[in-house]
Chains A and B, each alone.
Chain A
């Protein structure tokens, strides 16, 4: 579904992502793990068109070349990102945040259905729909960010650190919900520092270090690999 080939990203003199290639197949959950500064976020941002990759990089989604497309075009193709640190619109209500998620869609009926769907997944958002998003708790904001992304009815949902800054119990809840959403047919690419959770959920995983993929394999393979155990699972 998504094919990234030879992706290079430079910020000024810093070579943040060094020619990585990977794939996400339809119906899969793919995880990318790695420490701070490994280039995970940059990779997602490049797929979204928020940063421009170097020449020679190729990002292909459903047979369309998106390497130099504008963000708003890419989103219309069915790729939605939940940015790092939640980034809800704090002075807009929960409902307005969700409506913005469906911003480019032109089917009021479908939008209404998806709104009910999101409220079904996150009943707490329904209770607080007229509340300003900034007044929600951290966990609720993450749910809202996720719900807002689902409102675009994405084919590929990309998540930047969904567990960041959440209490362990909430992390568990969020991952349960991700599993649920995946069952309903959404393909996912998530990047995480919480390797244990991510590898439990993911079908396939990539390990990034200083801009290169140093290891890849199925979730289970990676979880038992000595290298990953030592570096990311603390065993």
Chain B
């Protein structure tokens, strides 16, 4: 049975890789970009779900960590000539102005820098709980943005960075997304992951089981910051430009939306919702274009998409609090059980 499940997983993985390969060769660049973004949002949603869903810490710092990742990766992968052109107000400090390294090490360093900052932030903020923690992490995310605006000689301030090499391909984004899913599944089912979920359910009870609360919270927060940094870096090297206005609260909100819609505490839910929301984000551009319905002419309103998403979120919170998946996870057993149930209903 166990082997059969592995076989199924292997087959779906191969089918998915074939799909990616097919997409890479047949889809137009616009659709490809959406597909790549889906992978990036899977990583970001899992990053946020690790702290919000599995550890029960209501954190809203994702945008800040993404900014750190994106800027680090951009500065490491841009060519020295490009940097010289971009930093015309104040030159970039040494040694950053000389460095150019390949994408993979740059990605890893981006994740690590973000993780270090996450670790440092975790010390003061993780003493807080609930709403206070949310406000504190949100505050730190804004502080990071303000630092980026003002650290002219490192980040180029409000001008942002342009001409970042476009390294992010569908293989990078989905390859790392699959790796993240694999790691998360293993993490959550390990003894460490069980401890995180125990902390989410009841801190006191978890403590008297011998679980060190602070250690677990800090590592979860740091891993989450690492993943957010990687996600930010992938996004930066896809869009090819980063500037401080990208990393406002709305970005965190988008990812929070994915986590809540998918189910707080479900890896499967995050993955499904990340894909759906990313695709909807583009598909719903229709509502922002001018429309003529009969005699009524509606001019295009930018930002309409977010209104639609906010309504969607409200509907989910009101009628379907658990999201698509609740805390359930996909498994082959679950699928075959569903199949059997269907057969039975059809049979009867």
Q: Using a CB–CB distance below 8 Å, which chain A residues touch chain B?
A: 48, 50, 70-72, 75-76, 80-81, 83, 87-92, 96, 99-101, 103-104, 148, 152
Contacts and interface: CB of A to CB of B under 8 A. Distances in A.
Contact of B198 (A72, A76, A92, A104): A92
B201 A148 contact: no
A87 B204 contact: yes
A88 to B, nearest CB: 7
Interface string B198-240: 1011101111111110000000000000000000000000000
A48 B202 CA distance: 16
A83 B210 CA distance: 13
A159 B109 CA distance: 49
A81 B208 contact: yes
B201 A89 contact: yes
A99 B191 contact: yes
Contact of A103 (B200, B211, B265): B211
B210 A103 contact: yes
Given A100-B198, A103-B191, A91 B209 contact: no
Contact of B197 (A87, A91, A104): A91
A101 B201 contact: no
Contact of A50 (B198, B201, B208): B208
A91 B265 CA distance: 10
Nearest to B199: A89
B35 interface: no
Given A96-B194, A100-B194, A89 B202 contact: yes
Nearest to A97: B198
Given A91-B327, A99-B191, A103-B191, A75 B210 contact: yes
Contacts of A91: 197, 200-201, 265, 327
A100 B195 contact: yes
Contacts of A92: 194, 197-198, 201
Contacts of B207: 48, 50, 71-72
Nearest to B212: A72
A103 B201 contact: no
A88 B210 contact: no
B211 A89 contact: no
Interface in B288-344: 327
Given A72-B211, A91-B327, A103-B211, A83 B194 contact: no
Nearest to B207: A71
A55 to B, nearest CB: 23
Interface residues of B, number: 19
A117 to B, nearest CB: 18
Contact of A75 (B194, B195, B197, B208): B208
Main secondary structure of the interface of B (DSSP, over half): helix
A46 to B, nearest CB: 13
| Most chain A CB within a 10 A radius of its CB, from B198, B207, B209, B265 | B209
A96 B191 CA distance: 9
Nearest to A88: B205
15 contacts: A50-B204, A75-B208, A80-B208, A83-B208, A87-B205, A89-B197, A89-B202, A89-B206, A91-B201, A91-B265, A92-B194, A92-B201, A103-B210, A104-B210, A152-B209
Contacts of A88: 202, 205
Nearest to A70: B212
Contacts of B195: 100, 103
B337 to A, nearest CB: 13
Contact of B210 (A72, A87, A89): A72
Nearest to A77: B210
Contacts of A76: 210
Contacts of B194: 92, 96, 99-100, 103
Contacts of A96: 194, 197
Contacts of B265: 91
Nearest to A158: B208
A76 B205 CA distance: 15
B209 A103 contact: yes
Given A90-B201, A91-B265, A92-B198, 7 more contacts: A75-B208, A80-B208, A89-B205, A91-B197, A96-B194, A99-B191, A100-B195
B213 to A, nearest CB: 8
Contact of B209 (A50, A90, A148): A148
Contacts of A148: 209
Interface centre among A48, A104, A148 (most CB of B within 10 A): A104
A152 B195 CA distance: 14
List 6 A-B pairs, minimum CB-CB distance, nearest first: A75-B210, A89-B201, A104-B210, A87-B205, A72-B212, A81-B208
Contacts of A50: 204, 207-208
A72 B202 CA distance: 15
Nearest to A90: B201
